[in-house]
Amino acid sequence: MQPTPPIGPLAGLRVLELGQLIAGPFTTKTLADLGADVIKVEPPGTGDPLRQWRLLHEGTSVWWEVQSRNKRSVAIDLRHPEGQALVRELAASVDILVENFRPGTLEGWDMSYEALSERNPGLILLRISGFGQTGPYRDQPGFGVVGEAMGGLRHLTGQPGEVPVRVGVSIGDTLAALHGAIGILAALHERSRNGGRGQVVDVALYEAVFNCMESLLPEYSAFGAVREPAGSALPGITPSNAYPCLDGWVLVAGNGDSIFRRLMDAIGRKDLGDDPDLAHNDGRSRRAAEIDAAIGTWTQTLTIAQVLGALQRAQVPGGRIYTVADIARDPHYRARDMILSTTTASGLALEVPGIVPKLSRTPGHLRRRAPRLGEDTDAVLGALGYDAAALRRLRDEGVIG
């Protein structure tokens, strides 16, 4: 018999997820990976739309197997008054509720925080929305792509003078989700110190993106500088760019002072390494084009493997640009358990990303596959006292699935 794995640092926490698609469910996926018991509420019949996004196997997205692992699925129709009453009962029994509806939606279902916390004073409510729960834009719909644009990220992507491009994943949603998880953990810590009272965590998609924009605003405030797209370079931090090789591109980050000198020695340009004007980043940034040209002249005569070998010997950070095929066969990913194996409800053997972050004593685990729609409805509602006859009536009336 396989030993029972440790149950994770968040074991014992109960989470109710009312969100769908990406931002809210990614927050709860993070909590579930670390041991929390996540009950996901989905509409009967259709479920979370993510079930049908991108590539499907037997009608279900393989993305679903990542986003909803370690969760339980309960099918409840939130448009039905009795369905809303069921969710209010569930909310009274959990530590955390996560939702990513447009502001005002919960209030329309008589699930304002004030109403929910009357029954459950310790409840922590995470609310993720496009623009937050207050302010002049609160009622506007906002997906991750809008948050990326308003937060300043989209303007910086792509090549100068060309149409701004998007990052190839829903990074705005994911950043909001991670900020949501941080907010939940902060609220849990504060709850333990103030007698058990909960609070609302308000995360706006655009603010989560904006929070990661580094020096964008202070540079504008101090100097009126508007940072513009720069392709693969990182303006003001030199050298840090992508350079051509005989068989593709390589990334080189030689922007530390001593690293820069080692890099120049490695490429045969000791003259640049010893140049006092290039000893520090400000001087190098003024001559970024000259330095990039010198590095590119060296890399374009070599293969990626040759460049990376030379960089490794010189202890200069560098790397190839990975495709998912590179990721899947990389030994470091495997050694760090960043590629895990699971089997879907339909029997498909699947590899999925591992669990982050990694804790030394109480790590997270992939405890269970992603659920079928409504797979856990009877068990979850049964724990609230609903017997077989009551469940049958609710199902016949379309309240649950």
Which of 110, 173, 202, 277 is catalytic? The answer is 173
Residue 161: half-sphere exposure toward Cβ, Cα within 13 Å? 0
H helix or E strand, kind and range, residue 332:
helix 331-335
For residue 361, the SS3 value is: coil
Report CA torsion sign: 338, 357, 217, 103: positive
- In sequence order, what are the beta bridge partners of 41? 74
Distance CA 171, CA 157 (A): 13
H-only helix segments in 237-276 = 257-266, 270-273
Q: Return the sign of the alpha-carbon dihedral for residues 323, 324, 328, 334.
A: positive
Q: Where are the alpha helices (DSSP H) in 73-230?
A: 81-91, 105-108, 113-119, 144-150, 153-156, 171-193, 205-210, 216-223
How far apart CA 154 and CA 160 sit, in angstroms, is 12
Check: CB of residue 367 under 8 Å from CB of residue 70.
Answer: yes
Q: Are 14 and 93 in contact (CB under 8 A)?
A: yes
Quick check: helix, strand or coil at residue 151?
coil
d(CA 261, CA 314): 10
CB atoms within 10 A of CB 308: 19
Q: What letters, b where the CB count within 10 A reaches 16 and e where it falls short, cover 376-393?
A: bbbebbeeeebeeeebee
- CA distances to 194, 334, 364 from 327, in Å: 45, 9, 21
Q: How far is CA 181 from CA 24, 33, 127, 174, in A?
A: 10, 12, 11, 11
Q: Is 173 a catalytic residue?
A: yes
Cβ neighbour number for residue 375 with a 10 Å cutoff: 17
How many CA atoms does the CB half-sphere of 71 hold within 13 Å? Answer: 30
Residues serving a catalytic function are 173
